[in-house]
Structure 1
């Protein structure tokens, strides 16, 4: 892999601050989220070489606004970067779900009328195959969401999508992925803000 590869999670929203599952719902960033995005942009600018990056973003405005505030020019908006579809659990916290499904997590249980782990895996793999091709030409930044970015980290490392549970991503958290002599590598998780 010749060029840097970064994941940027969107900044804080009202629902992310409250722990509500936010997939399809298109919420704006809070003022804190806006500042987080600007800070992530300063950090990213220090880590990217002078050449422009290929920037792909989720179509949700929280991701697009994060990209803009981070000083990124989005090359493409793609549903492949959308958050995990939580189905009937959209807008509900884990604690609320566990009132009827004890022990529930997004990583271990199904979501009624939502996306399966298999579907999320297929989407992540399709996106990462494309990223690998792009990385031969230029740096890549993917601007997306918490759970799906954790899936991307897991799949990059050749782990099951559900192993994303092992990686925590903060709002506007910046992650660098790469490889060492062809072996996929997690270089940095939640790079401290500038």
Structure 2
């Protein structure tokens, strides 16, 4: 299979994609970019005009945005069994895009100290912060993973946000979130991805 070029910075959301790549066991080459340097160069803007990471290049195609990359890698590496079955598909896409939309928006707004006025809650797409957390907590209340008993790419993407949220205090330490994060952190691919990114960060 064609090698993947992986563009990242170890102090970015690229850690999500690194974990996903390690789960798939696909061959890839890492390109570390700097925020005020190579990430803004014309060479990289030809790959991602936004000048941000992560991005991957595979078979001449560029994929950006973490949720899209996770879903793409799950499909191109079926042997990793990270894509949803027909029965799992609804939950898989529902929670993948819930994390890409309401969860990330609510978490970022909270981190920035912004509280949506009650009369404007309909405008932001997620209502209010606690509603987002209540909804996600309920999704994990009766199963080990987002689609049921099996780990999928949705758990890489959503799980990364929960792990980071607990680590940096942008999410409440609810028992369901902590138990889910502990299950994910025990995965060998997660540990290897963190080792590689920690080494890259130390080398910068």
**TM-score where L is the length of structure 1:** 0.38
Q: Greater RCO between the two (CA within 8 Å, min separation 6)? A: 1
**TM-score where L is the length of structure 2:** 0.36
Which structure has the greater CA radius of gyration?
2
